[in-house]
């Protein structure tokens, strides 16, 4: 959903401008409306901010009809999750069956009854929002709001493949809070949780778009630094290491150890890359903690 405007966004697609106007009139108090009068344009608008939360799609249109638009939207991962409702004068069962088979969530026939269109749009947008929320919860660590291990496992291979393809440097950093068990033992688990949130805040504040910051579990975090060579990674990590040392969350002295490694030609999967970072953080522990090792 569009973050700058609370209203969900509905894209209306119909080759007849008067039809769009009619539907817009009874939706525009509740929704932000985008319009397209031809198929190609609707595909563009589906990936342009504000991204639609739902698409109302006419079937009979010149050049690219609604079925083709629907197929194209469902084939593209970026748009496949946007619910589509066909709005059409074609009221025979075979057409409706085809529309639903193509992945539309609903099929509304003309003449339109405004209250019914509104109710169906409302219902499908609510479902979409609930689905988005669940998806987000499955990928985000609830304590720190960093990404979770599941997200990392899903996304890291793509990052690695991209970095190899574009010959772009990629660094991985393992972060493990020092003597965190004592923090819990001395100050209690709730304070421990607050420390984790504060440390996560420092990590998050020092990542750029394209980086991934994830909580692996417990007091362990992982950073993937995109377009970042080892020298840049080390200077960034030194900054983070120092910021954590100076943070004193809840008045508690906290430090962390860091293992940094760069993606190498022979890293064909996540595991070999990850093992080096993990080894490096162990070395940092062995060498006295609150430090960075490669």
Judged by CB under 6 A, the stretch of 3-11, 157-165, 180-188, 201-209 that binds ligand GH3 is 180-188
Rounded to the nearest whole angstrom, what is the least distance from the CB of residue 149 to ligand GH3 in the complex? 13
Q: Is 219 a catalytic residue?
A: yes
Residue span 71-110 as binding mask against ligand GH3, x where in contact by CB under 6 A, dash where not: ----------------------------------------
Are 247 and 198 within 8 A, CB to CB?
yes
106-109 and 170-177 beta bridge pairing: unpaired
Alpha-carbon distance of 193 to 185, in angstroms, equals 12
Instruction: Tell me the Cα Rg of the chain.
Output: 25
Alpha-carbon distance of 160 to 268, in angstroms, equals 8
- Is residue 86 a contact point for Mg ion (CB under 5 A)? no
Q: Which of residues 3-32 bind Mg ion (CB under 5 A)?
A: 15
Judged by CB under 6 A, the stretch of 124-132, 186-194, 198-206, 237-245 that binds ligand GH3 is 186-194
H-helix or E-strand spanning residue 291: none
H-assigned helices in the chain: 17-27, 39-46, 66-75, 93-101, 114-139, 149-165, 180-187, 189-205, 230-247, 270-286
Alpha-carbon distance of 166 to 237, in angstroms, equals 24
Rounded to the nearest whole angstrom, what is the least distance from the CB of residue 35 to ligand GH3 in the complex? 48
- Is residue 250 a contact point for ligand GH3 (CB under 6 A)? no
Residue 20 structure tokens: 């769009």
Give the CA count within 13 Å in the CB-facing half-sphere of 219.
Answer: 23
Rounded to the nearest whole angstrom, what is the least distance from the CB of residue 150 to Mg ion in the complex? 19
User: Active-site residue among 154, 219, 246, 293?
Assistant: 219
Alpha-carbon distance of 22 to 112, in angstroms, equals 9
**Among ligand GH3, Mg ion, none, residue 60 binds (CB under 5-8 Å by kind):** Mg ion
Rounded to the nearest whole angstrom, what is the least distance from the CB of residue 180 to Mg ion in the complex? 5
Helices (H) and strands (E) counted in the chain, each on its own, are 10, 11
- Is residue 218 a contact point for ligand GH3 (CB under 6 A)? yes
Rounded to the nearest whole angstrom, what is the least distance from the CB of residue 152 to ligand GH3 in the complex? 17
Residue span 150-179 as binding mask against ligand GH3, x where in contact by CB under 6 A, dash where not: --------------------------xxxx
Residue ranges binding Mg ion (CB under 5 A): 15, 58, 60-61, 176-177, 180, 219-220
Question: Which residues are known catalytic residues?
Answer: 219
Positions in the binding site for ligand GH3 (CB under 6 A): 143, 176-181, 184, 189, 192-193, 196, 218-219, 285, 289
């Amino acid at each position: 959903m569009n973050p700058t405007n609370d209203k969900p966004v509905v894209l209306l697609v119909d080759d007849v401008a008067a039809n769009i106007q009619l539907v817009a009139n009874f939706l525009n108090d509740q929704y932000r409306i985008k319009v397209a009068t031809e198929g190609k344009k609707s595909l563009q608008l589906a990936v342009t901010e504000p991204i639609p939360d739902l698409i109302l799609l006419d079937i009979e249109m010149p050049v690219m009809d609604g079925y083709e638009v629907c197929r194209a939207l469902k084939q593209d991962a970026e748009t496949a999750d946007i619910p589509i409702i066909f709005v059409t004068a074609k009221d025979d069962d075979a057409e409706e069956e085809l529309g639903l088979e193509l992945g539309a969530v609903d099929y509304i026939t003309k003449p339109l009854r405004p209250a019914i269109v509104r109710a169906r749009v409302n219902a499908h947008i609510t479902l979409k929002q609930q689905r988005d929320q669940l998806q987000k919860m499955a990928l985000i660590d609830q304590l720190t709001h960093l990404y979770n291990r599941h997200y990392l496992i899903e996304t890291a291979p793509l990052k690695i493949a991209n970095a190899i393809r574009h010959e772009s440097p990629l660094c991985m950093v393992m972060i493990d809070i020092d003597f965190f068990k004592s923090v819990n033992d001395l100050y209690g688990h709730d304070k421990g949780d607050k420390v984790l949130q504060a440390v996560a805040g420092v990590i998050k504040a020092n990542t750029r778009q394209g980086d991934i910051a994830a909580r692996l579990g417990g007091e362990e975090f992982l950073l993937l630094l995109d377009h970042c060579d080892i020298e840049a990674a080390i200077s960034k990590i030194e900054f983070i290491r120092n910021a954590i040392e100076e943070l004193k969350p809840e008045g508690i002295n906290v430090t962390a150890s860091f293992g940094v490694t760069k993606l190498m030609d022979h890293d064909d999967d996540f595991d070999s890359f990850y093992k080096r970072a993990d080894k490096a953080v162990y070395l940092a522990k062995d060498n006295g903690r609150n430090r960075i090792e490669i």
